[in-house]
Chains A and B, each alone.
Chain A
Amino acid sequence: MTLAALEITPSYYLVLAAMLFTIGSVGVLTRRNVLVMFMCVELMLNAVNLSFVAFAKALDDITGQVIVFFVLVVAAAEVAVGLAIIVAIFRRRRHATADDLQALRG
C-alpha cells in the first residue's frame, strides 16, 4: 500500500493529539522555568484543539471548530495574566523557576 493510497482517518489525528498532549504534560512536570511551563500548557491546549477539529470532521459538524475559538480566547487570557504574574515575580526576585516560588508571600 503506497502512501498516496492511505486514507487518513480521524484516529490518526487523535493519536497525534494524544502524543502532543503527553509531551506537553511531561514538559509541565519536568521543566522548572515558568515560561517554558506556560509553553507546554499551550502545547496541551493545541492538542485538544486538534482533536476538536478532528471530531468536527469525523462527525461532520461545524461546532467542533467553533469550540476551538473559545479555547483560543481562554488561552490568550491565560497567557496575558500568566505573563503579568511572571513579570511581577521577576520584579521581586531575579529567578523564574518554579522551585523559587514555594512561598505565596512576596
Chain B
Amino acid sequence: MIPFLFFVAAAATLAGGLGVVLARNPVHSALFLVMTLVSVAVLFLIQDAELVAAVQVIVYASAIVVLFLFVIMLLGVDRQESMRDRIPYQRPAAIALGVILLAQLLWLAGHEWVTGQETASGVPIEGGGFGGNVERVARVLFTDYMWAFEITAVLLVIAVVGAVVLARRSGQKGEPVDDVDEAATEGVDA
C-alpha cells in the first residue's frame, strides 16, 4: 500500500510541478500548484507527519494559493508572456543549469545519511511515550525552539505591516498620476 501511494503521489507531485512551469495561463499554474501541494501532503502523511500534512493543506493549498488566485483575478493577468529572450540563450542556459543542479542533488541524495546517532531533541517520530504527533511537535516547538517561535511572530507582524504599507495607495487624494499612466499605457496597447 505504501509503495503504491508513494509512486502515485510522486507522479502527481512532478506532474503538478511541470504544470506550474509549463502552463501558459497563470490560473492554470496556480491550480497545478494545488495539485503539487496536496500530493506533497500525502507524502507527509505516509511519513508519519500528520500535523505537517494538515498544515500543508490548510495554509499552503488553501490560504497561499487563494492569495495567488486573488491577485491574479484582481489584476487580470491573462496576457501571454513573450517567448523572446531578452538575454540571449536564456532558456537553453537555464535548462542546462537545471540539469547540472539535478545531477548534483541526485548525487547528494544517493549518499547514506542515516548515521544511527542518538536523536538531537530526544523526541523520536513514534514510541517512547511522548503521545501523538501533535504532542511531539509541540513538545519540541515550545521548548527547544521557543525563541525561534517568538521570532516568527515578529516576522509575521513585519510582513503584515509591510504588505499593508505597500498595498496602500501612496499618493494623495485623487491619484492623478496613476490614471494618466493607465490611460497612456492602454493607448499604447491599442
Contacts and interface: CB of A to CB of B under 8 A. Distances in A.
Nearest to B51: A65
A55 B67 CA distance: 30
Contact of B20 (A40, A66, A76): A40
Contacts of A69: 52, 55, 137, 141
Interface in B138-185: 139-141, 144-145, 148, 152, 155-156, 158-160, 162-164, 166-167, 169, 178, 181-182, 185
* Interface of A: prevailing SS: helix
Given A22-B98, A56-B49, A79 B68 contact: yes
B68 to A, nearest CB: 7
Contacts of A30: 21, 90-91, 94-95
Contacts of A8: 2-3, 6, 46
Interface of B: 1-4, 6-7, 10, 13-14, 17-18, 20-21, 26, 29-30, 33, 36-37, 40, 43-44, 46-49, 51-52, 55-56, 59-60, 63-64, 67-68, 71-72, 74-75, 77, 79, 81-82, 86, 90-91, 93-95, 97-99, 101-102, 105-106, 108-110, 113-115, 117, 119-121, 123-125, 133, 136-137, 139-141, 144-145, 148, 152, 155-156, 158-160, 162-164, 166-167, 169, 178, 181-182, 185-186, 189
Given A4-B3, A56-B49, 20 more contacts: A7-B3, A12-B10, A15-B106, A18-B105, A20-B14, A21-B101, A22-B101, A35-B68, A35-B77, A58-B113, A59-B114, A62-B139, A65-B52, A69-B52, A76-B63, A84-B166, A87-B74, A87-B75, A90-B75, A97-B82
